Amino acid sequence: MTFGTILFQLSKGLLVSVEIFVLTLVFSLPLGFIVAFGRMSKNPIIRTITKVYISIMRGTPLMLQLLVVYFGPNLLFGVRIGENYRFVAVIIAFSINYAAYFAEIYRSGIESMPVGQYEAAKMLGYNKAQTFFLIILPQVIKRILPSVTNEIITLVKDTSLSFAIAQAEMFTTAKQISAAQTSIMPLMAAGVFYYIFNAIVAWGMERVEKAFSYYR
């Protein structure tokens, strides 16, 4: 296998990694809000359920969650799973796991807002939805961006965990080629790819943070 072929194979894997990354964010970022509101709910049942959910998601390894989501339907309920389910399982496991982390970040951001902002909005006649979406949320986003960036960068690297269920993304590909060629080079190349991937993500997030820096 030439160096060029290896890079080509890795790039194909990288594409899958990017897909996992993007789809996980698409689902987990909004889902995190629902979880955060559940966590802050006045209803004790909803609050407890979301609390337990978050603690399981944060308290057990993501790799284990991935295996449970992938094998669970078959081993627990005898459902026959097709080849397509592999990728779906990755997205489900990553999304529900990251939603828990995002939920806690959102919650800390929302709870850090001074009560005076709510009171001022109330005095000016804003309703609850307007208060949240116009006054609170934009400020919360600014506050939580650094923590969200951290999570997103971790996610780039966590996509490699899909290797546990043999999802053919970049890390799985690199490991296969490395074993077949008895060479460390494919793994090193994958490392460089991850690094570049994250550099781009970090640059993008920095731009977003800048967009919010017009006020303090």
Partner 1 sequence: MKLLEMNHVQKTFDDLEVIKDISLSVEKGEVVSVIGPSGSGKSTLLRCAVMLEKMESGDLIYEGRYAARDVNGKSVYADKNELKEIREIFGLVFQNFNLFPHYSVLKNITDSLVKVDKLSKKEANERGMELLKQLGLEDKADAYPYQLSGGQQQRVSIARALAKNPDILFFDEPTSALDPELTVEVLKVIKELAAKHMTMIIVTHEMQFAREVSDRIIFMEDGVIKGQGTPDEMFNSEDSRIREFIGKLS
Lookup: tokens for 109? 């951001």
The answer to the question of residue 126 lying near partner 1 (CB under 8 A) is yes
Q: How many CB atoms neighbour CB 180 within 10 A?
A: 10
Lookup: tokens for 138? 């934009």
Looking at 4-12, 85-93, 132-140, 201-209, which segment touches partner 1 (CB under 8 A)?
132-140
Residue owning tokens 């939603």: 99
The answer to the question of residue 39 lying near partner 1 (CB under 8 A) is no
Taking CB under 8 A as the criterion, the residue among 52, 119, 206, 211 binding partner 1 is 119
117/150 with CB nearer partner 1:
117
The answer to the question of residue 138 lying near partner 1 (CB under 8 A) is yes
28/131 with CB nearer partner 1:
131
Residue owning tokens 């996992």: 20
The answer to the question of residue 129 lying near partner 1 (CB under 8 A) is no
Residue 136 DSSP one-character state: I
Alpha helices in the chain (DSSP H): 3-39, 44-59, 62-77, 85-111, 115-123, 128-130, 137-158, 170-181, 185-211
Looking at 42-50, 86-94, 109-117, 154-162, which segment touches partner 1 (CB under 8 A)?
109-117
CA-wise closest residue to 141 among 96, 109, 181, 165: 109
Taking CB under 8 A as the criterion, the residue among 26, 56, 79, 134 binding partner 1 is 134
Q: 95: which residues sit within 8 A by CB, 6+ positions away? A: 23, 24, 27, 28, 31
138/191 with CB nearer partner 1:
138
The answer to the question of residue 216 lying near partner 1 (CB under 8 A) is yes
The CB-of-127 to partner 1 minimum distance in angstroms stands at 8
The answer to the question of residue 112 lying near partner 1 (CB under 8 A) is no
The CB-of-216 to partner 1 minimum distance in angstroms stands at 4
Question: What is the CA angle 201-204-205, rounded to 5?
Answer: 85
The CB-of-207 to partner 1 minimum distance in angstroms stands at 18
Phi-psi region of 125 (alpha: psi -120 to 50; beta: other; left: phi over 0): left
Which positions touch partner 1 (CB under 8 A)?
114, 116-117, 119-120, 122-126, 130, 134-135, 138-139, 142, 214-216
